[in-house]
Structure 1
């Protein structure tokens, strides 16, 4: 069967492909250490898992509202409104199957053929492909060597076809938290040149060293809330902060008009998100947060360990958030190892450790190393990689 041009034009996710490859090797009995997975290695709280079961007995599990369960939308509106000190309403909340589908929905809803979306790089692997699937054109703007935004380059990239910019802070893959002043400047340009700011905040909870994360929604305080929500589209998920990756519950904070149009679009794609999963999300929001705070402390401890170890063999900027290191790696290139893909494959085959090549994130000469695993695995993975790099030819 002939495959459509739009699907032929996109790349498969290297992170998904690597996870599948690791699974196949482990099934063969090969002791692979996975430092490539982008999800918490601990389960959600017992109560959250139990709620998934109990909800099926307690509530109607037939088709639900496309935009999300009213109780979840209301609770999110209440909590987000308090956090950003703005009157957020349930009509401003849209629920979908993880932030990945939220981002896909956004571009399908606001992008026309030929529209441009500015994508600072390194970027999450799904951003450019979602833009292309909507008929848009990703315009890549490399960040500074500190992994902070390059404002001069972003300003040069803004043109008559610019429809949006997508920001991901804390960033996957770099762990960088973008400077507040830089975000404020982008918001001003968004007003001046009439484009949207999409803020992917999947890792907003996971920040370290008492570093504060700034959501664009907390800026431009003099703006009317609905006008701001028509300009700033905030994407969040229960996957990372609540260790609920498989539940597939993500949400958007945006204008009521955009939510209404996304409802129209999603109604023809998948309809509602799994109702029991939304019930678990409500419980995760409202229960005591001690479990999640401890999870955050665990990740910070692992970050400290991973940085201390891998900075011995790589040029490394400390991760301020998320759960990744993003070291430069081209000092280890040889006549046969010429790219980050080559090096990631060498490490997998020689050290039996899975990491991801920077090319997956638009940043050749880097590797992404996840510390979302045990300290024992981090230490063993480091020693294997250190030994393999010393034996390369």
Structure 2
């Protein structure tokens, strides 16, 4: 008798984690590897946040908390939504989980029945389709190519909606493309959603503060208040405050949904780490200088990487509005052969050959639902990025037509 559930056949391991793991294994073998596959800031958590966590330990805040967050953290989150997004949520409309991923997972598990559809613009974060499948839903992937700025158009959204549609997942700025929706683009989508009252919106705002140039962040419930009662606005402290390992995500939404998510969490992980909650509260209520300073560093790195990749034969790298990724096309290299004789007939082959021949780990575009591309995370030092771009250029220059 098989011990494993049949539902596991529907999902696959995270390709980003798989590539990061492979890069680490090669590095442990003595290879000089530059890993551009992981999506986390390379900075330390700000000192004021670390100090708050230490103080929480010394004060004995090491016990269970309410299932989906302490009252004080929920108040801090509600204040953040009001201050930065113009959204009014009561603490009873706030939920806190073990990272943003748990907020998304809880929402889908609490709402999806077999066959319910979830619209996912591609390129997408790798976990979205698998979470939908685990919850019994059907992912409806809508390609959003580079000539659309990697953004979902209102026409494409309208065409994808059916009577079975329950959610639209909208990530802005996006992982992996860095594309963001300005107010005009967001309003065009919310206008469509107003015509379809059965469709809820899962707004993944985790990269809210990592925006560049003159781009201004906005979120669906902010742009169209009439949608607020069917929007879950998800965020967290991982990317904005370099707190990936602290595992705190949060969401604001209708009380009925929040209550259902809390019930689900009560029978899975229960409360997030108590110390991390106090650290997250300090992040949201304390000095915000880190966000401004890190944003400037990431924008400099973005410009370095975009310029370097666009100088590589066969690559075309659009300029992203936010996050810390670029998503260049390798269309110009499809059908070539690398110096070692590897045929480049897909973005997965490109990424494998690049790692084997030049020691640069990136994530292939098929993992994100849109090929032929690859994702680079520029959350590493300027020195390493400069070297990585030089290796990628050398690899591309060595690819020749068959």
Is TM more than 0.5 here? yes
- The 3-state SS of whatever aligns with 1:165 is strand
Contact 2:298 2:378 in 1 (8 A): yes
Runs of 4+ in 1 over 6 A off after TM superposition: none
Question: Could you say which residue in structure 1 is the equivalent of 2:134?
Answer: 133
Give the whole-Å Cα distance in 1 for the aligned partners of 2:10 and 2:159: 26
> Does 2:364 correspond to 1:357?
yes
Give the whole-Å Cα distance in 1 for the aligned partners of 2:34 and 2:109: 38
Shift of 1:86: 3.8
Shift of 1:87: 2.7
Question: Could you say which residue in structure 1 is the equivalent of 2:35?
Answer: 34
Deviation track 1:211-239 (CA, whole Å, cap 9, x = no partner) reads 10111121224x4xxxx443111110111
Q: 309-318 or 106-115: which moved more? A: 309-318
Contact 2:153 2:189 in 1 (8 A): no
Question: Could you say which residue in structure 1 is the equivalent of 2:157?
Answer: 154
TM-score under structure 2 normalisation?
Answer: 0.93
Matches within 5 A, 1:208-219: 208-219=212-223
- The 3-state SS of whatever aligns with 1:95 is strand
Give the whole-Å Cα distance in 2 for the aligned partners of 1:304 and 1:140: 30
Question: Could you say which residue in structure 1 is the equivalent of 2:287?
Answer: 288
Consecutive unaligned residues in structure 1, runs of 5 or more: none
Give the whole-Å Cα distance in 2 for the aligned partners of 1:388 and 1:86: 48
Root-mean-square deviation (Å): 1.4
- The 3-state SS of whatever aligns with 1:101 is helix
Shift of 1:184: 2.1
Give the whole-Å Cα distance in 1 for the aligned partners of 2:15 and 2:234: 22
Contact 1:229 1:253 in 2 (8 A): no
Contact 1:72 1:282 in 2 (8 A): yes
Match of 2:353 among 342, 346, 363: 346
Aligned length, in residue pairs: 388
Change over 3 Å in CA distance of 1:53–1:192 after alignment to 2 = same
Contact 2:61 2:275 in 1 (8 A): no
- The 3-state SS of whatever aligns with 1:68 is coil
Contact 2:89 2:253 in 1 (8 A): no
Shift of 1:177: 0.6
- The 3-state SS of whatever aligns with 1:42 is coil
Deviation track 1:215-272 (CA, whole Å, cap 9, x = no partner) reads 1121224x4xxxx443111110111001000000000110111111111010001000
Contact 1:112 1:135 in 2 (8 A): yes
Shift of 1:84: 2.9
Matches within 5 A, 1:1-393: 1-144=2-145, 145=147, 146-193=149-196, 194-221=198-225, 223=226, 228-313=227-312, 314-333=315-334, 334=336, 336-392=343-399
- The 3-state SS of whatever aligns with 1:369 is strand
